[in-house]
Amino acid sequence: MEPKKASDSFVSKTSLILPPDTNNHGTIFGGKTMSHIDEVAGLSAIRHARINVVTASTDSVDFLQPIKRGQAICVEAFVTWTSHTSMEVFVKVLGENLYTGEKLLCTTAFLTFVAIGDDGRPHPVPPVIPESDIEKRLYETAPERARLRKERREKSKRFAEEFDI
């Protein structure tokens, strides 16, 4: 399978934050932000694999700054690393004051997607070619994140079995 550049999977989406998107503090609901993250990350994974994907995991989502009603949410994602059938996607969320142009980093996350073939089974994906400094850094540190994800998943399975959930 031909490797693909990380930049070829880049996806960006900007949306206006309206009153139904916000909580009683006038800031975007965390779940709404997570929905944007999953959507954009999924598009990035599809763009890389050119096949259907499913979300396998979301690492911690860190809300660093709030995004207020009337501001824009700007979500950017790209595939950082692949295994045989899975892809790690990095997501960055910015809040933008549309009147001043000021942008603040509000959220970051890593998600893992699995490519799914027409038979409903996991399907191989192409490797990633990192080019920029950030792409290279994320690529080099991805195996450790994958190891931690695998450990976390095993703990979750044991927890579910222990409590018969």
Domains in the chain (CATH in brackets) are 4-162 (3.10.129.10)
pLDDT at 164: 80
Confidence of residue 17 (pLDDT cuts 50, 70, 90): very high
Average pLDDT rounded to a whole number, residues 117-132:
98
Q: What is the DSSP string of the chain?
A: ---EEGGGG-EEEEEE--GGGB-TTSBB-HHHHHHHHHHHHHHHHHHHHSS-EEEEEE---EE-S--BTTSEEEEEEEEEEE-SSEEEEEEEEEEE-TTT--EEEEEEEEEEEEEB-TTSSB-----EE--SHHHHHHHHHHHHHHHHHHHHHHHHHHHHHHTT-
Whether residue 165 has pLDDT greater than 80: no
pLDDT at 72: 98
pLDDT at 62: 87
pLDDT at 163: 87
| Cα–Cα dist 83/45, whole Å | 13
pLDDT digits (tens, 9 = 90+) for 45-81: 999 999 999 999 999 898 999 999 999 999 999 999 9
Question: Which of 42-56, 115-129, 147-161 has the least mean pLDDT?
Answer: 147-161
pLDDT at 69: 98
Amino acid letter for position 100: T
First to last CA, the chain: 39
pLDDT digits (tens, 9 = 90+) for 128-150: 999 999 999 999 999 999 999 99
pLDDT at 60: 85
**φ, ψ of residue 57 in degrees (nearest 5):** -165, 155
Confidence of residue 126 (pLDDT cuts 50, 70, 90): very high
Whether residue 32 has pLDDT greater than 90: yes
Tokens 């990380």 found at: 6
For the four alpha carbons of 81, 83, 84 and 88, in that order, the dihedral sign comes to negative
